[in-house]
C-alpha cells in the first residue's frame, strides 16, 4: 500500500530522489544488520536501541496519545496542549493502526517502534539539527500568549497534564527522540503532499457537481440449505478458518465479598468530613442536582445537596477502609489457612468462571474484576488478590486455567456447515453480479441507456431504481432520499467516473447491488472555484498523512526490530 500510494504521487526528479534515499535506507541497512542482535540490547537497522532510547520513545508515544492533553480557551474552545507540529507525528503514528491507541492496545508497541524508526531516519539524513537549542526554540513557539510571547503557564499546564515532574524530564525526551522523529515525519509528509490536477478535478466534480445515478439489484434466490457439501469440503474450509473456532481462555475462581457498609460511619459529620465533602462537591458538581431546581443548567450549591455529598464521601471512605482491611488483614490470613476456611467468616466461598474478553456477570466493576483475574497465577504468590466493587470488595483466588485452543472439527461441524454454506451463497451472488456487470457494460458501450440495458437482461430477479439526483457536497439534496442502500450508493459515487458501473456489492439477504453514474452536471462554477484551493489543500494533507503513516508501518515491517538474541520482534497489527 505504501509503494502504491508513493508511486501514484511522485511526479518529479526531486521526489524520486527522496524515494531512492528511503529505499536505500530500508534495504541496504536491512542487509547490513542481518544477523546482528547479540546480547547488547535491541537492534534496528545498524543501531543498537538502548533502554533509554526505547523508554524515551515509549514515553513520547504515551504523551502523544494522552487524551487529557486538551485545554480550553476562556471562550470554552478546545486547543491542543501538545507542542507545535505534533499533530503530523501523531497522525502518522496512528493512521495505520485501526484499533486506535488506548493504553494496553498491542498497537502501542508498533507506534513506539515507528517513532524510533522515524528518529533513526532523522539521524541518518541529519534532518533535525540543534539538539537542546532546537527543542527549546520549538517549546517557546508552541506555548505563547496572545502577544506571541512565551507563556510559561501554558507550558506548565502541559507538563502537569502529561505527568512530567520537571521541565527537564520532558525536554530530554523531546530533544533526543520526539523532535527528531517529528522532523523526519514532517520531511516525508511535505515530500508526498501532492495531488495531480486530474485527480483534483475529479474529486471536485464528485463533491460539487450534481450527480445522477441508478442502481440495479439482483435478488438472491439461492438457499444455503440447498448447497451440498461433503465432509472433505467442510474439513478443508475448517482448516482454512480455524481461528474462527478458537475457544477463549477461561479461568475459574473462588471468591467472597466484604460489604463496605461494615465500615460506614454514622452520626454527625466531623470537621474533616465536612471539608472533604465540600471539596468533593466542588470537583464533582455534575453528579448532583438541586432537588428544588427544574433547570438542569442551574448552579447547584453545596448546601442544597449537602446530605447527598456527605453520603457519597462516607461511602467512598467505607469502601477504601474495606479495601485496606482486606489487603492488610485478610490476605495475611491466607498464608496460614485455606481460602475456603477464611471465607467462612464472610458469608462463605463462591465460585465463578470468567472468559477472556467476556463480561463477568454478577460482579460490580466487572472490567476491573476481569483484569485482576487474568493477571493472577495459579498456585503462586500471586494467586489471590483484592479488587473493589462499588459497595463491596472481592477477595479472589484463581483456582484453574483452561487455555485458549482451537475447538476440534467434530465439535463445531454444525457451525462450520452453516458458515461454509453462507460463504458459498455469497460467492455465487458475487459471481452472478460480475456477469451482470459485464453484460450491462457491454450494452451501454453499444449505445443503450442504462434502463434499456437492464430491460434487455430479461431477468425477473433484477430491479432497477429510478434516477437518483444528488450533490455529495450538499447534504440537503440527499438527506431525505428514501433509497435502499443509500450509504453504498453514496460511497460508490465518490469513486466512480461518469458512465462507469461499480463492482458488485453484496447487500441484504445476499442480494447484489450495482451503481451506475449516468451524469455529472456542474451547477455552481463560482462555488467550485472558491472551494478548489481549500479542498485541494485538505485532500493533499489527507493523502500525505496516509502515505506517511503507510511508510512508517512499511519501514518497521520491512526492517523489523530485533531482540537481544537477534530474533525479529513480532509487531502484528491489532485485530
- Alpha carbons 426 and 220: distance in angstroms, whole number: 9
CB 194 within 8 A of CB 9: yes
What are 265's three cell numbers? Answer: 460511619
> Is the per-residue pLDDT at 184 higher than 70?
yes
Per residue in 247-286, pLDDT (tens digit) is: 999 999 999 999 999 999 888 888 888 888 888 888 777 7
Whole-angstrom distance, CA of residue 106 vs CA of residue 233: 35
Question: DSSP for 464-502?
Answer: EPPPEEE-TT-GGGTTT---TTHHHHHHHHTTPPTT-BP
Q: Which residues contact 267 (CB under 8 A, 6 or more apart)?
A: none
Per-residue model confidence (pLDDT) at position 294:
56
Phi/psi of residue 405, nearest 5 degrees: -160, 155
Could you give the CA distance from residue 86 to residue 66 in angstroms, rounded to a whole number? 12
pLDDT of residue 574: 44
Q: Is the pLDDT of residue 418 over 90?
A: yes
Question: Binning pLDDT at 50, 70 and 90, where does residue 385 land?
Answer: very high
Instruction: Report the candidate in 279, 395, 380 with the shortest Cα–Cα distance to residue 327.
Output: 395
Question: pLDDT tens-digit profile of 6-21?
Answer: 444 443 333 334 444 4
To which H or E segment does residue 268 belong? none
The predicted model gives 226-241 an average pLDDT of 94
Q: How far apart are CA 571 and CA 567, in angstroms?
A: 12
In the Cβ-directed half-sphere of 361, how many Cα atoms lie within 13 Å? 2
Chain segment 121-168, per-residue pLDDT in tens: 888 888 766 678 888 999 999 998 878 889 888 898 889 888 888 888
CA–CA distance, 370 with 356 (Å, rounded to integer): 8
> Given CA atoms 137, 141, 144, 148 in this order, what sign does their dihedral have?
positive
Angle, to 10 degrees, between the axis of helix 525-558 and the axis of helix 86-94? 70
The residue-averaged pLDDT of 103-129 equals 79
The region of weakest confidence among 115-119, 264-268, 514-518 is 264-268
Higher per-residue confidence, 62 vs 287 = 62
Find, among 445, 479, 463, 557, the residue nearest to 220 by Cα: 463
Which of residues 396 and 39 earns the better pLDDT score?
396
CA distance 386 to 325: 10
Question: What's the pLDDT at 410?
Answer: 95
Mean of pLDDT over the chain: 83
Which phi and psi (to 5°) does residue 281 adopt? -60, -45
Model pTM?
Answer: 0.57
CA dihedral 451, 456, 461, 466 (to 10 degrees): 10
Q: Which residues of 116-148 are buried (b: 16+ CB within 10 A; e: fewer)?
A: bbbbbbbebeebbeeeeebbbebbeebbeeeee
Instruction: List, for residues 518-531, the tens digit of each pLDDT value.
Output: 999 998 788 777 77
To the question of domain 210-237+411-521 being in CATH 3.40.50, the answer is no
The yes-or-no verdict on residue 101 having pLDDT over 60 is no
Confidence band for 320, pLDDT divided at 50, 70 and 90: very high
Report yes or no: 428 and 291 within 8 Å, Cβ to Cβ.
no
Q: pLDDT higher for 380 or 247?
A: 247
What is the per-residue pLDDT for 502? Answer: 95
CA-based nearest residue to 519, from 496, 486, 490, 487: 496
Q: Could you report the per-residue pLDDT of 348-374, keeping only the tens digit for each? A: 999 999 998 888 989 999 989 999 999
In angstroms, the CA 117 to CA 126 distance is: 14
Q: Considering only residues 541 and 233, tell me which one the structure prediction assigns the higher pLDDT.
A: 233
Runs of H (alpha helix) within 248-293? 271-283
Predicted confidence at residue 258, as pLDDT, reads 95
Q: Per-domain residue ranges for the chain?
A: 2-195+533-558, 210-237+411-521, 249-403
- Which cell numbers in the block locate residue 268? 454527625
Structure confidence at residue 292 as a pLDDT band (50, 70, 90):
low
> ∠ CA 532-534-537 to the nearest 5 degrees?
100
The alpha carbon torsion through 383, 386, 392, 397 (nearest 10 deg) reads 0
Reply yes or no on whether the pLDDT at 430 is more than 80: yes
The answer, yes or no, to whether residue 104 has pLDDT greater than 80, is no
Least confident of 130-139, 325-334, 490-499: 130-139
Q: Quick: pLDDT tens for 41-79.
A: 788 877 888 888 899 999 999 898 887 776 555 555 556
Q: Confidence band (pLDDT; 50, 70, 90) for 480?
A: confident
Q: What is the dihedral of CA 290, 295, 300, 303, to 10 degrees?
A: -40
Amino acid at each position: 500500500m505504501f509503494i502504491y500510494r508513493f508511486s501514484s504521487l511522485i511526479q518529479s526528479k526531486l521526489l524520486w530522489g527522496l524515494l531512492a534515499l528511503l529505499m536505500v535506507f530500508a534495504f541496504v541497512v536491512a542487509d547490513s544488520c542481518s544477523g546482528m542482535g547479540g546480547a547488547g540490547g535491541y537492534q534496528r537497522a545498524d543501531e543498537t536501541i538502548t533502554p533509554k532510547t526505547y523508554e524515551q520513545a515509549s514515553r513520547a508515544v504515551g504523551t502523544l496519545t494522552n487524551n487529557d492533553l486538551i485545554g480550553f480557551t476562556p471562550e470554552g474552545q478546545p486547543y491542543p496542549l501538545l507542542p507545535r507540529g505534533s499533530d503530523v507525528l501523531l497522525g502518522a503514528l496512528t493512521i495505520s493502526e485501526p484499533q486506535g491507541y488506548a493504553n494496553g492496545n498491542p498497537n502501542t508497541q508498533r507506534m513506539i517502534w515507528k517513532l524510533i524508526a522515524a528518529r533513526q531516519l532523522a539521524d541518518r539524513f541529519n534532518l533535525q539539527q540543534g539538539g537542546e537549542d532546537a527543542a527549546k526554540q520549538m517549546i517557546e513557539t508552541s506555548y505563547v500568549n496572545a502577544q506571541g510571547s512565551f507563556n510559561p503557564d501554558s507550558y506548565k499546564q502541559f507538563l502537569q497534564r502529561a505527568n512530567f515532574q520537571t521541565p527537564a524530564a520532558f525536554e530530554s525526551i523531546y530533544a533526543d527522540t520526539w523532535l527528531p522523529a517529528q522532523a523526519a515525519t514532517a520531511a516525508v509528509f511535505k515530500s508526498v503532499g501532492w495531488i495531480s490536477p486530474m485527480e483534483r478535478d475529479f474529486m471536485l466534480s464528485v463533491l460539487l457537481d450534481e450527480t445522477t445515478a441508478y442502481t440495479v439489484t439482483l435478488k438472491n434466490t439461492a438457499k444455503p440449505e440447498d448447497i451440498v457439501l461433503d465432509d472433505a469440503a467442510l474439513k478443508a474450509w475448517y482448516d482454512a478458518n480455524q481461528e474462527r473456532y478458537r475457544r477463549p481462555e477461561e479461568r475459574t475462581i473462588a471468591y467472597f465479598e466484604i460489604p463496605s457498609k461494615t465500615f460506614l460511619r454514622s452520626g454527625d459529620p466531623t470537621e474533616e468530613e465536612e471539608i472533604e465533602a465540600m471539596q468533593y462537591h466542588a470537583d464533582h458538581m455534575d453528579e448532583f442536582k438541586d432537588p428544588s431546581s427544574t433547570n438542569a443548567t442551574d448552579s447547584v450549591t453545596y448546601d442544597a445537596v449537602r446530605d447527598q455529598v456527605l453520603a457519597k464521601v462516607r461511602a467512598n471512605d467505607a469502601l477504601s477502609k474495606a479495601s485496606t482491611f482486606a489487603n492488610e488483614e485478610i490476605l495475611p490470613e491466607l498464608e496460614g489457612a485455606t481460602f475456603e476456611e477464611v471465607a467462612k467468616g464472610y458469608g462463605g466461598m463462591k465460585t465463578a468462571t470468567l472468559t477472556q474478553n467476556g463480561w463477568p456477570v454478577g460482579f460490580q466493576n466487572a472490567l476491573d474484576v476481569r483484569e485482576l483475574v487474568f493477571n493472577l497465577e495459579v498456585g503462586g504468590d500471586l494467586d489471590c488478590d483484592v479488587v473493589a466493587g462499588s459497595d463491596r470488595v472481592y477477595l479472589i483466588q484463581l483456582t484453574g486455567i483452561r487455555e485458549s485452543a482451537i475447538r476440534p472439527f467434530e465439535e463445531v461441524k454444525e457451525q462450520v456447515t452453516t458458515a461454509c454454506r453462507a460463504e458459498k451463497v455469497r460467492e455465487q451472488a458475487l459471481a452472478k453480479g460480475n456477469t451482470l456487470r459485464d453484460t450491462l457494460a457491454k450494452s451501454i458501450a453499444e449505445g443503450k441507456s442504462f434502463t434499456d440495458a437492464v430491460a434487455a437482461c430479461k431477468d425477473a430477479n433484477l430491479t432497477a431504481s429510478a434516477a437518483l439526483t444528488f450533490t455529495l457536497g450538499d447534504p440537503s439534496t440527499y438527506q431525505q432520499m428514501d433509497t435502499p442502500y443509500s450509504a453504498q450508493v453514496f460511497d460508490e459515487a465518490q469513486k466512480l467516473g461518469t458512465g462507469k458501473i461499480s463492482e458488485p456489492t453484496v447487500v441484504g439477504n445476499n442480494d447484489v447491488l450495482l451503481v451506475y453514474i449516468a451524469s455529472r452536471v456542474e451547477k455552481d462554477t463560482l462555488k467550485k472555484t472558491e472551494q478548489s484551493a481549500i479542498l485541494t489543500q485538505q485532500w493533499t494533507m489527507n493523502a500525505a498523512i496516509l502515505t506517511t503513516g503507510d511508510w512508517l508501518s512499511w519501514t518497521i515491517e520491512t526492517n523489523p526490530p530485533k531482540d537481544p538474541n537477534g530474533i525479529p520482534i513480532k509487531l502484528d497489527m491489532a485485530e
